[in-house]
Chain A
Amino acid sequence: NAGVIQTPRHKVTGKGQEATLWCEPISGHSAVFWYRQTIVQGLEFLTYFRNQAPIDDSGMPKERFSAQMPNQSHSTLKIQSTQPQDSAVYLCASSFRDMYEQYFGPGTRLTVL
């Protein structure tokens, strides 16, 4: 079991460019979560999917951020027109069912110059 896989591990973008982050959940897990971690704000929930359907996106910034789960083996988080304040570690997690233990990936460190 490779655990939750996130690619790339590091990404550097220029201000205004687009960034796409990838997550491969643990096989057999039905829930996939995205979180963002910064020194100032800590670890914040962004959005989650259950059986590939979007369930709760209450933590997503309304503009520029979008997430998709086109199949059970991967999810993407896309940030358009990146800004320096988007710099953070983006963490993906999956769980067997809602409200079960969430297993986190190693994260993608996004740096916007």
Chain B
Amino acid sequence: QEKVQQSPESLIVPEGAMSSLNCTFSNSASQSIWWYQQHPGKGPEALISIFSNGNKKEGRLTVYLNRASLHVSLHIRDSQPSDSAVYLCAAMNYNQGKLIFGQGTKLSIKP
């Protein structure tokens, strides 16, 4: 059974600084890794996904995937108070549509 673990559990970052979130997964054959953002009382919203080893950049977001170490990280440049939310890492395996989620990282951006 695929397992996804996230660290840290919570993170406080000053406005304008870089936020760095980590995730490890248990199955090196995981097809793709997704990062979702969830605000209180709302459903999760996809931010960025990565399929291949290496990195991917979209706007202020950069994600790094290392399949050998089963590790993925999300970095948010120039963090804003509106980035305050819970960030969920999820793995999707080949030919299985379901997402396996980590427990989340609560990010708070201090003005």
- Cβ of B49 within 8 Å of any chain A Cβ, yes or no, is yes
CA distance A4 to B44 in the complex (A): 12
Which residues of A are found within 8 Å of B102, using beta-carbon distances? 42
Which residues of B are found within 8 Å of A59, using beta-carbon distances? 98
- Which chain A residue has the least Cβ–Cβ distance from B6? A42
- Cβ of B41 within 8 Å of any chain A Cβ, yes or no, is yes
Q: Fill in one digit per residue for B42-69: 1 if any A CB lies within 8 Å of its CB, else 0.
A: 1111100100000000000000000000
Instruction: Tally chain B residues at the interface, Cβ within 8 Å.
Output: 23
Contact of B43 with A56 in the complex, beta carbons under 8 Å? no
- Residue pairs across A and B with CB atoms within 8 Å: the count is 54
Which residues of B are found within 8 Å of A102, using beta-carbon distances? 46, 99
Contact of B43 with A107 in the complex, beta carbons under 8 Å? yes
Q: Fill in one digit per residue for A34-50: 1 if any B CB lies within 8 Å of its CB, else 0.
A: 01000000111100101
- Cβ of B96 within 8 Å of any chain A Cβ, yes or no, is yes
CA distance A96 to B53 in the complex (A): 25
Which residues 73-111 in B have Cβ within 8 Å of A in the complex?
88, 92, 95-104
- Cβ of B26 within 8 Å of any chain A Cβ, yes or no, is no
- A-contacting residues of B (Cβ < 8 Å)? 31-32, 34, 36, 41-46, 49, 88, 92, 95-104
- Residue contacts A-B, CB under 8 angstroms, 29 given: A31-B97, A33-B99, A35-B101, A42-B102, A42-B103, A43-B44, A43-B88, A43-B104, A44-B101, A48-B97, A56-B96, A56-B98, A91-B43, A91-B44, A95-B97, A98-B97, A99-B32, A99-B92, A99-B95, A99-B97, A101-B46, A101-B49, A102-B99, A103-B46, A104-B43, A105-B43, A106-B41, A106-B42, A107-B43
- B-contacting residues of A (Cβ < 8 Å)? 4, 31, 33, 35, 42-45, 48, 50, 55-56, 58-59, 91, 93, 95, 98-99, 101-107
Interface contacts beyond A45-B100, A91-B43, A101-B49: sample of 12 additional A-B pairs, CB < 8 Å, sorted by A? A4-B43, A42-B101, A42-B102, A45-B98, A56-B96, A95-B97, A98-B97, A99-B31, A99-B97, A102-B46, A104-B45, A106-B41
